Amino acid sequence: MDMGNQHPSIIRLQEIQKEVKSIEQQVIGFSGLSDDKNYKKLERILTKQLFEIDSVDTEGKGDIQQARKRAAQETERLLKELEQNANHPHRIEIQNIFKEAQALVKEKIVPFYSGGNCVTDEFEEGLQDIILRLTHVKTGGKISLRKARYHTLTKICAVQEIIEDCMKKQPSLPLSEDAHPSVAKINSVMCEVNKARGTLIALLMGVDSTETCRHLSCVLSGLIADLDALDVCGRTEIRNYRREVVEDINKLLKYLDLEEEADTTYAFDLGQNHSILKIEKVLKRMREIKNELLQPQSPPELYLSSKTELQGLIGQLDEVSLEKNPCIREARRRAVIEVQTLITYVDLKEALEKRKLFACEEHPSHKAVWNVLGNLSEIQGEVLSFDGNRSDKNYIRLEELLTKQLLALDAVDPQGEEKCKAARKQAVKLAQNILSYLDLKSDEWEY
């Protein structure tokens, strides 16, 4: 349309809408909280545009009034989305878990400031528990939540990695300062690196307001420059010592770029991640095999070929790179459980078929256990087909059926028969595994 023939008010509204559109992706992807600087900046821009829209003179013309209304609605929609992103219950959940991690680090950070490496098992277990809980925070595919979860996990995993690296790998010595004058300087730099390690952890976790990433980066780069300037006179052991300290510094520098790297590479979007795509490919084939096995009157010869292929799929999952990402680790763990559950289903089907072929006299208690196993096989087939959540009636029904089978097993009296005791124990374990699998299928987790 020729802009020259348009009313000036329409042209102004289009300019405002263009400005609003230019920050739409920032709003959609906003992963912070309402007290963040970027939140206030985006809120200020959108509020200003609303005032601009409101100031456009419609001159009482219907088409301009409608255009102004549409522009206002679009701006208000983005303002509302910004507010929802910052105050989403799962975003608050992520922040609360992060606060727990902050408290844990703040309590245990002192040894790192003093250059020590005294980290308790309680600290390591606490950090691992926090990471596990973060991987289970539901994002519903929402970009802002996926970014928030990824950024938080990245920081905490970085702290975990720094600590583990510090615990298991120290520079080869400090060498004796009598060996060469340069050694004293390297030893001094190593002490500064140990202090920087503690500062970095505090920065990543937001528990040190006196230091900045920029300043720490300058400090670490300066230490590398000091080491590069040293004359080691061709002494191999001193050169290796210096190289190890430089490598330690470079590792610390790498962690300072975590936030920027996550945004520029879209690393939070695991839907396009190579490892996740490989897991999804395995799961797709597993579902195809499952559908064949769950068909009525599926031939027994199908069991052997299916089991062989399923075991191959387990091998493929073992080769998946975790990329130090707990969400990928969790996705692989779940995929392994999916495949193993189907293998268990096939094993039980085969065992039940063989039992039909070789019917013989057996202890009543042993027969009772086999009856329960037959019931579990039928229920497991239904659980494998289940595709719902924990509020579904079918979930409740399946849970009740499995509980009844556990009660039936509890009522079996082995009468001192060791074989029966072992069979009952295995049946109880199977029923509990099916219950756990039902829970896993219905918890609505996503990467």
With H, G, I as helix, E, B as strand and everything else as coil, classify residue 176.
coil
Q: Let me know: does 311 contact 280? Beta carbons within 8 Å.
A: no
Number of helical H runs and strand E runs in the chain: 18, 0
For residue range 26-36, what is the model confidence (pLDDT) as tens digits? 999 999 999 99
Tell whether the model's pLDDT for residue 178 goes beyond 70: no
Q: What pTM value is reported for the model?
A: 0.76
The pLDDT of residue 118 is 61
Average pLDDT, the chain: 86
Greater model confidence, 60 or 176: 60
The pLDDT of residue 1 is 44
Greater model confidence, 268 or 395: 395
Greater model confidence, 408 or 170: 408
DSSP per position, 41-60: HHHHHHHHHHHHHHHS--TT
Token duo for residue 317? 């999952």
Token duo for residue 128? 């691992």
Token duo for residue 260? 């920027």
**Residue range 417-443: mean pLDDT, rounded:** 91
For the CA atoms of 405, 411, 417, 421, the dihedral, rounded to the nearest 10 degrees, stands at: 40
- The residues near 127 (Cβ < 8 Å, ≥ 6 apart) are 101, 104, 156, 159, 160, 163
H helical segments located in 294-392: 301-318, 326-357, 364-385
Give the Cα separation of 92 and 342 in Å (integer). 37
Q: Let me know: does 404 contact 443? Beta carbons within 8 Å.
A: no
Tell whether the model's pLDDT for residue 180 goes beyond 80: no
Band (96; pLDDT cuts 50, 70, 90): very high
Band (171; pLDDT cuts 50, 70, 90): very low
The pLDDT of residue 263 is 54
List of E strands, 57-124: none
The pLDDT of residue 346 is 93
For residue range 115-150, what is the model confidence (pLDDT) as tens digits? 555 667 788 888 899 999 999 898 888 889 988 998
For residue range 314-342, what is the model confidence (pLDDT) as tens digits? 999 999 988 778 888 889 999 999 999 99
The pLDDT of residue 285 is 95
For residue range 276-312, what is the model confidence (pLDDT) as tens digits? 899 999 999 999 999 999 988 777 778 888 999 999 9
The pLDDT of residue 296 is 80
With H, G, I as helix, E, B as strand and everything else as coil, classify residue 208.
coil
**Residue range 223-237: mean pLDDT, rounded:** 81
**Residue range 176-203: mean pLDDT, rounded:** 80
The pLDDT of residue 316 is 95
Band (107; pLDDT cuts 50, 70, 90): confident
Percentage of the chain surpassing pLDDT 70?
Answer: 90
**Residue range 164-173: mean pLDDT, rounded:** 63
